Structure 1
Amino acid sequence: MLLPAAHLLPLLLVIGAREAVPSAQSPPHGCYVAEEAGERTFRCSRAGLSAVPPGIPNDTRKLYLDANRLASVPAGAFQHLAILEELDLSHNVLAHLSGAAFQGLAGTLRHLDLSANQLASVPVEAFMGLQIQVNLSANPWHCDCALQEVLRQVRLAPGTGTGIVCGSGARPDLVGQEFLLLAREEELCGMGHGGAQRSTDVALLVTMGGWVTLVVAYLAHYVWQNRDESRHPLKRAPVLPVRSEDSSTVSTVL
């Protein structure tokens, strides 16, 4: 049965309005979903993004956000991606990572690319619990304790270690040097990021050790001196010999 024109017009308007409203699950402009090697991939390379985009499918295993304008990664930015294995954040302008930037990815994330950004330092907490292979090359690192601690938590992607170089914000004697070579020769956690407290503790221990050494040396000297005196008894006063003249005088008087 045909609908009257009076009823048909509102129905057409509703259908048209639904088609005009974009789907909440549709990818942002410049992004698309693909199947690569049988794995769900979400690519947003060179999409002009300045923030992590919404609408990333929950079943994404590989996420490419490289070559954008991302300046930071906030806490929990990817926590809804429960099976994410690979994350590419390279060639952005990242200068800050939250300590909880990769929250929720501890059990799945295996590869992380942070190369070619503006990272001078990163919080160690961001990598705690992650079993990942990471690329940290081509960043202006401060070459501080935090970076040294990060490298104790992660594995570097093959061939990327030589690209971790101290930037202009590092100590003047470290600028331009490879971080891995420095880390083998110097314990950078002796300064900064808790290093001041460690240095104070070490100085206190050294001072206390010096005082203990002085006290022990004094006691040893005191004991040794007393033992030495006990071995040599007091000398008796010498007996003066009686002269012959005195003997004669005594005889005469008698």
Structure 2
Amino acid sequence: PPRGCYAAEEAGERTFRCSQAGLSAVPTGIPNDTRKLYLDANRLASVPAGAFQHLPVLEELDLSHNILAHLSGAAFRGLAGTLRHLDLSANRLVSVPAEAFMGLQIQVNLSANPWRCDCALQEVLRLVRLAPGTGTGIVCGPGARADLVGQEFLPLAGEEELCGTGWGGAQRSTDVALLVTMGGWLALVVAYLAHYVWQNREETRRPLKRAPVLP
């Protein structure tokens, strides 16, 4: 195993620990039967695409207390059927791509990051379950909108829609446009029917012309 890392059996689970190992990248040589992987308290700045796809039974992943500032949209590719717990707390994340969590059935800790509190984060919260007791730790950082800095994000996300445009918001915009178009067509149909009924009523009110009397 990489220096500072070791494999162990913990509660009957194959575990691989690389805590405080001075790592600056996701290490190679992790046994592919690993169920719990601890990469916490290192110097990881990013997680590239497919970083863990060679771990087909991975259930728990701890990336807390690093310096993560970037997460690939395919960072957890290959883990959709297995990963259950993910810890991203105490990093430098300001935003994460929602697609990184698509298809995952996970419980995640997102606390203690300087979040921008944007649409992407709102979309992520629609896709995941938060680890118990960690929601209050999701706070808007210096890069957030001025009126949001220092505020807890969960109450804000419940009150304000941040996805007017962009990922997720585009679909909602399309839906709204479709509804408006359908409403316009419906209004035209109603107007036509009303005009038709009114015209027919006028026709029925006109006196019938008498036929000319033949000599």
Write out aligned runs for 1:1-254 (5 A). Answer: 26-28=1-3, 30-193=4-167, 195=169
- More deviation, 50-59/197-206: 197-206
Residue 211 of structure 2 corresponds to none
Percent of residue pairs bearing the same amino acid type? 88
Larger Rg: 1
Coordinate RMSD, CA, aligned: 2.8
Is residue 5–residue 17 contact of structure 2 (8 Å, CA) maintained in 1? yes
> Aligned partners of 2:179, 2:83: CA distance in 1, in Å?
43
TM-score between both structures, scaled by the size of structure 2: 0.80
CA deviation string 1:7-55 (max 9, x = no partner): xxxxxxxxxxxxxxxxxxx333x11111111111100000000000010
Is residue 133–residue 155 contact of structure 1 (8 Å, CA) maintained in 2? yes
Task: Flag the structure with higher helix content.
Answer: 1
State the AA in 1 paired with 2:101. Answer: F
> Aligned partners of 1:85, 1:141: CA distance in 2, in Å?
26
Count matched residues: 207
SS at match of 1:189: coil
TM-score between both structures, scaled by the size of structure 1: 0.69
Is residue 86–residue 106 contact of structure 2 (8 Å, CA) maintained in 1? yes
> Aligned partners of 2:106, 2:155: CA distance in 1, in Å?
22
Flag as ranges the 4+ runs of structure 1 deviating above 3 A. 191-210
SS at match of 2:14: strand
Distance 1:85 1:208, change over 3 A: closer
> Aligned partners of 1:59, 1:198: CA distance in 2, in Å?
41
> Aligned partners of 1:151, 1:198: CA distance in 2, in Å?
17
SS at match of 1:87: strand
Is residue 121–residue 144 contact of structure 1 (8 Å, CA) maintained in 2? yes
Distance 1:145 1:105, change over 3 A: same
> Aligned partners of 2:157, 2:176: CA distance in 1, in Å?
20
> Aligned partners of 2:166, 2:143: CA distance in 1, in Å?
14
Q: Which runs of 5+ in 1 are unaligned?
A: 1-25, 228-254
> Aligned partners of 1:171, 1:203: CA distance in 2, in Å?
28
